[in-house]
A and B are shown apart, each in its own frame.
Chain A
Amino acid sequence: DVKVTQSSRYLVKRTGEKVFLECVQDMDHENMFWYRQDPGLGLRLIYFSYDVKMKEKGDIPEGYSVSREKKERFSLILESASTNQTSMYLCASSSAGPHLHTDTQYFGPGTRLTVL
Chain B
Amino acid sequence: QKEVEQNSGPLSVPEGAIASLNCTYSDRVSQSFFWYRQYSGKSPELIMSIYSNGDKEDGRFTAQLNKASQYVSLLIRDSQPSDSATYLCAVNSVNSGNTPLVFGKGTRLSVIA
The answer to whether A100 and B94 have CB atoms under 8 Å apart is: yes
Instruction: Determine whether A74 belongs to the interface, using a CB cutoff of 8 Å to chain B.
Output: no
Q: Which residues of B contact A99 (CB under 8 A)?
A: 31-32, 94
Instruction: Determine whether B44 belongs to the interface, using a CB cutoff of 8 Å to chain A.
Output: yes
Min Cβ gap B4→A in Å is 9
B55-63, B74-82, B97-105: which lies at the interface = B97-105
The answer to whether B43 and A101 have CB atoms under 8 Å apart is: no
Min Cβ gap A115→B in Å is 19
- Size band of the B side of the interface? 20 to 34
Instruction: Determine whether A90 belongs to the interface, using a CB cutoff of 8 Å to chain B.
Output: yes
> Which 5 A-B residue pairings sit nearest by Cβ, starting from the closest?
A42-B105, A101-B100, A107-B43, A43-B103, A102-B32
The answer to whether A40 and B100 have CB atoms under 8 Å apart is: no
Residues of chain B touching chain A, judged by Cβ–Cβ distance below 8 Å, are 31-32, 34, 36, 42-46, 49, 88, 90, 92-94, 96, 98-101, 103-106
The answer to whether B88 and A43 have CB atoms under 8 Å apart is: yes
Interface size on A (CB < 8 Å)? 26
- The residue of chain A having its C-beta at the shortest distance from the C-beta of B44 within the complex is A107
- The residue of chain A having its C-beta at the shortest distance from the C-beta of B93 within the complex is A101
Min Cβ gap B41→A in Å is 8
The answer to whether A110 and B42 have CB atoms under 8 Å apart is: yes
Instruction: Determine whether A34 belongs to the interface, using a CB cutoff of 8 Å to chain B.
Output: no
The answer to whether B105 and A105 have CB atoms under 8 Å apart is: no
